[in-house]
Amino acid sequence: MANSDNAPKKPKKPIAPRVEMPTQPPRERTGNFDEVALGYTREQALAEAERCLQCKKPACVKGCPVEVPIKDFIERLQHDDVPGAYEVIKSTNSLPAVCGRVCPQEVQCEGACILGKKGEPVAIGRLERYTADTFMANSACEHMNGEGRSCAPIREDLKVACIGSGPSSLTCAGYLSSRGIKVSVFEALHELGGVLVYGIPEFRLPKSIVAQEVDALREQQVDLLTNWVGGKTIEISELFEAGYKAVFVGVGAGLPRFLNIPGENLIGVFSANEYLTRVNLGRAYKFPEADTPTYPGKHVAVFGAGNVAMDAARTAVRLGAERVSIVYRRTKGEMPARVEELDHAIEEGVELQILSSPLEFVGNEQGFLKSVILQRMELGEPDDSGRRRPVPIEDDRFELECDLAIIAVGTSPNPILLEASPELKLNKWGYVKVDETTGETSMANVFAGGDIVTGAATVISAMGAGRRAGMEIARRLMDE
C-alpha cells in the first residue's frame, strides 16, 4: 500500500520505462579506452527527469551519503534549468561529474527511490552526470560556487593542509577554499585525483573529468603540490611549524593485500593496484608511446569481485587478452561490484569462474606464471556479513591456465604517513581513529577521512568525510 503522503501527484499514470543510457557497443569498446557509457542527450535527460514523482517525502535523499537534494535538482531539470540543477547538486556535492559515473546508485539514492517499489527507479546517477557534464562549459569559479556568485576572497593567513588528493581531500579543499581559507594539497604522486586517476580506468571515468574538477580548485587558489610525500617530504608537525592551522589526512588505503599462497611472487602475478597504476597513471595502454610498460597476458585470471576486479578484468580485455576470468569464492549474486560494471564486464566477454578459490600459483623454471590451482567451493550457512559462507568441496581441485594473475582482494592502510606520525591513534584494523562527527584524530586540529579511516569504501563516502572535516575546520578557524 502506498503511503498517502507519497502518493503521486497525478495518480494512475503508468510508470514509463527508465530511459536507457547510450553506450559504446561492446564489440567496439573492447578495442579502445574511451568512455563506455556515453551519457544522456538533452531529450533523454528531460524524459527521464519527467519520470520523477516529486514525492512529498522523497526517500532518495536519505539514500545519498552527502544528502544531495535530489528531488529539487530533478525539478530544475524538468524545467530544463541545468545551471539551477547544478547549483542544487553542488550545494552538497563537489564532484558530481565523478559521482554520476562511479557511485553505486543502485544501493544508495536509486535503491531508495519510491518509484523503484513499483517499477524501475529514477536514473538519478545518470541525471546527475548529465547535469554536471552539461554545466562544465562554465567557468571553474562558477563550478564551485554556483552561477552568478564569485569566488570568496582567499585569506592567506588562514592556511590548511590536505595530505593526499583523492576525493576526500579534494572535497575538503573545495569546501574550505569556498569559505575563503587558503588550502595546500600535498600529493605523493605526480598526478592529482587519487584512485580517480590511478585506479579507476579511463573507460569508466575519463581523466579529463577529474582534471576539470581539479582545475576548479586551482581557480579557487588552492595550492596543489605534487611529488610531496606526507611523512617523508613533510611531516604533520612540520606543517604546523610552517603556519598551517589544521591538517586533513586523506591518504587512502593503498597498500595492496595479497593472497599469501605459494608462487605469489612469480613473474606475472600482479596486484590490481600495480596493474591499474601502470595502465592509468603510467598510460601503459599507449606503450611504447608512453614509457611505462604493462604486462601482456593471454589468459588472465582476476581474483576478487569488487569494482577493482571488474576494472582490472575489463582493462585486460582492452589490452588484448584472449580469455579473462574473474575467479570468485562465492556466486554472481554475492559479487560486491556495481551491477552496471559487472554487466558491462560480462558484455565484454569476461568469464566468471565462480565458487573457486586459489590455492597455489604454478610457474616455469624462469619464474614466469603458468597456471593457478583452484579449489572448488560451495555455499554454506550465512556468516557474520549475512552472506552465505563459501566452503571447500573436499578434494575437488582443478588447474586454470593463466599467464597473468591480478589480485584484487582489498588493501590495507598505507604505512608511510602513519609510521612517521606515531601520535596518530589507530583502530584495531590499523586505520586512523577519528571522532565520527568532526573527523578529528587523536592529534588536535588534525583531521582524517576517506579510505584511511574506513578502509576501502566509496568515492561518495570519502567525499562525505572530507566535507564533514571541512565544515568543522571552517567552524574553528572562522567561528562559523
Partner 1 sequence: MIEISAPPARILAKERLIPGQTSKLVIDAPHIARKARPGNFVILRIAPEGERIPLTIADTDPEAGTVTIVYLVLGKTTAALEQLGEGDTILDLCGPLGKETHIEKVGTVICVGGGTGIAAMHHIAKGHHMAGNRVVAIVGARSENLLLFCDELESFCPELEICTDDGSCGHKGFVTDILQKRLEEDSEIGEVVAVGPVPMMAAVARVAKPFNVKTTVSLNSIMVDGIGMCGACRVTVGGETKFACVDGPEFDGLQVDFNELNKRLTAFKPQEAISYEEWKKSHGQ
- Within residues 158-197, the interface with partner 1 by CB under 8 A covers 184, 188-190
- Our finding on whether 416 is near partner 1 (CB under 8 A) is yes
Chain positions 16 to 55 lying near ligand SF4, rule: CB under 6 A, are 52-55
70 binds, among ligand FAD, ligand SF4, partner 1, none (CB under 5 to 8 A by kind): ligand SF4
DSSP helix/strand/coil, 244: coil
CA–CA gap between residue 360 and residue 269 (Å, rounded): 11
Residue 182 interface partner, choices partner 1, ligand SF4, ligand FAD, none, CB cut-off 5-8 Å depending on type: none
For 185, residues 6+ apart whose C-beta sits below 8 A from its C-beta are 161, 162, 164, 165, 169, 170, 173, 192, 217, 222, 223, 224, 225
Residue 250 near which of ligand FAD, ligand SF4, partner 1, none (CB within 5-8 Å, type-dependent):
ligand FAD
Interaction residues for ligand SF4, span 103-162 (CB under 6 A): 113-115, 121-122, 124
The least distance separating ligand SF4 from the CB of residue 467, rounded to whole angstroms, comes to 21
Binding residue for ligand SF4 (CB under 6 A) from 21, 66, 68, 70? 70
Residues with Cβ < 8 Å from 134, sequence gap 6 or more? Answer: 42, 82, 86
Q: Is 67 left (phi over 0), alpha (psi -120 to 50) or beta?
A: left
Q: Which residue, 54 or 427, has its beta carbon nearer to ligand SF4? A: 54
User: How is residue 107 written as a grid cell?
Assistant: 544501493
| Residue 335: exposure state from Cβ atoms within 10 A (0-12, 13-18, ≥19) | buried
C-alpha cell recorded at residue 219: 581557480
User: Is the N-terminal amide bond of 288 cis, ω within 30° of 0?
Assistant: yes
How is residue 163 annotated by DSSP?
E
Return the C-alpha cell found at 189. 604522486
**Interaction between residue 308 and ligand FAD (CB under 6 A):** yes
Distance CA 242, CA 157 (A): 12
CA 474 – CA 480 distance, rounded (Å): 7
Q: In the complex with ligand SF4, which residue's Cβ is closer, 111 or 410?
A: 111
* Residue 220 binds: one of ligand SF4, ligand FAD, partner 1, none (C-beta under 5 to 8 A by kind): none
Options 21-29, 191-199, 219-227, 263-271: segment touching ligand FAD (CB under 6 A): 191-199
Footprint (CB under 6 A) of ligand SF4, residues 269-298 = none
**Residue of 66, 74, 102, 301 that binds ligand FAD (CB under 6 A):** 102
Q: Can you tell me the distance from the alpha carbon of 373 to that of 253, in angstroms, rounded to the nearest whole number?
A: 29
Give contact residues for ligand FAD (rule: CB under 6 A): 102-103, 163-169, 186-189, 194-195, 199-200, 229-231, 250-252, 254, 276, 307-308, 311, 338, 414, 416-417, 450-452, 456-460, 462
Give contact residues for ligand SF4 (rule: CB under 6 A): 52-55, 58-60, 70-71, 74, 113-115, 121-122, 124
